[in-house]
Amino acid sequence: MMFLRYAVYRLFTMLITLFVVSILVFAIINLPPGDYLSNQIAELRATGQAEGVAKAEFLRTEYALDRPIWEQYLIWAGFAPGPNGFSGLLQGDFGWSFEFDRPVAEIVGDALWLTVLVNLAAVLFVYMIALPLGVLAAAKSETWVDYTAGFIGYLGLATPNFLLALILFYYGHKYFDLPIGGLMDPIYEGEPMSWPKVKSILLHLIIPTFVIGTSGAAAMMQRLRANMLDELSKPYVETARAKGMAPARLLTKYPLRMAFNPFVADIGNLLPAMVSGSVLVSVVLGLQTIGPSLLTALKSQDQFLAAFILMFVALLTLIGTMISDLLLVLLDPRIRYGARGG
């Protein structure tokens, strides 16, 4: 019952935070002078294209860009009626992309779930690599195992993602016949889901998962190793060792559980870091994620497209943070006690 109350409380705080983030995102997007349509109108007037100016002016009115910034926000979020009534984020209308001349929902439709898929695969890769290597490095401290794991970690941190992408792009195809670019074969784009399409996606995921997850796995491995070494040096471990507890049980019973807390807490930071870190990788590898669209939207001041993508990244961040908080409450009795005390 206490856990359910805490989960409801975290959900409520997440929604409040998302509301505040939406204000900040919309304000920051509109900080640069002008917008896509204003810039377009200036160019059209300079070239004497009266019809284009009329269309751009119509779009400014249609999407309330001629109104004060606070009113634009309320209409965009769906809190106030616009020219077409209540039609904002709350109603499922993500706005119009002026750069692509299409609804934002059409542009990001497939890209959203592909972005989530790529980054979930990268998160799983991070944990599958960092957990065993971090524990092994701590258990075999100052041995060749520790030094090898440390070298792998530093190599992963020092190698830029885009450079690693280019290397694997070439050698993965040359020696392992892995597909080049994209997240599926072109013949499956726009097609309904099927087993051949799933196999194509899984095959295309290998290189992006490795590239995006490498630096995160290296950093997390180093943190887990440091936390484990700190726990292994505490008196309760020496006492358990003196009483003859088996080394494997000694390692996993308490030290790993205590060192695992920051490991779980990193979920909240890992998801947005993966999304933001995969933008350049997505461009290099030609991935159909939201990264390239965000880059284009920011360059052209396509405010509705950029704002929605940033809100999506913020939502991933908040969901990741909530998941990590709930897992910590389940894993650590001290946190549960603290929740009751609050």
pLDDT in tens, 34-71: 778 887 787 777 777 777 778 788 888 888 888 888 99
Which residues have C-beta within 8 Å of that of residue 108, sequence separation ≥ 6? 94, 290, 293, 305, 308, 309, 312
Q: What percent of the chain has pLDDT over 70?
A: 93
Q: How high is the pLDDT of residue 238?
A: 79
Q: How high is the pLDDT of residue 335?
A: 61
Over the chain (342 residues), the average pLDDT of each successive run of 10 is 82 92 90 79 76 80 86 91 87 87 86 83 86 84 84 78 76 77 77 82 85 82 84 81 78 75 71 67 77 82 89 85 81 56 42
DSSP state at residue 191: S
> Is the Cα dihedral 274, 279, 282, 284 positive or negative?
negative
Q: How high is the pLDDT of residue 342?
A: 42
Contact 74, 80 (CB under 8 A): yes
Distances (CA, A) of 72 to 23, 66, 81, 88, 279: 11, 8, 10, 10, 28
Q: How high is the pLDDT of residue 258?
A: 74
Closest CA relative to residue 41, chosen from 25, 54, 23, 27: 54
What CATH fold (topology level) applies to the domain 107-341? MetI-like fold (1.10.3720)
pTM, full prediction: 0.78
Q: How high is the pLDDT of residue 271?
A: 67
Contact 269, 117 (CB under 8 A): no
Name beta bridge partners: 82: 85
pLDDT digits over 254-263, tens only?
Answer: 777 777 777 7
Q: How high is the pLDDT of residue 340?
A: 44
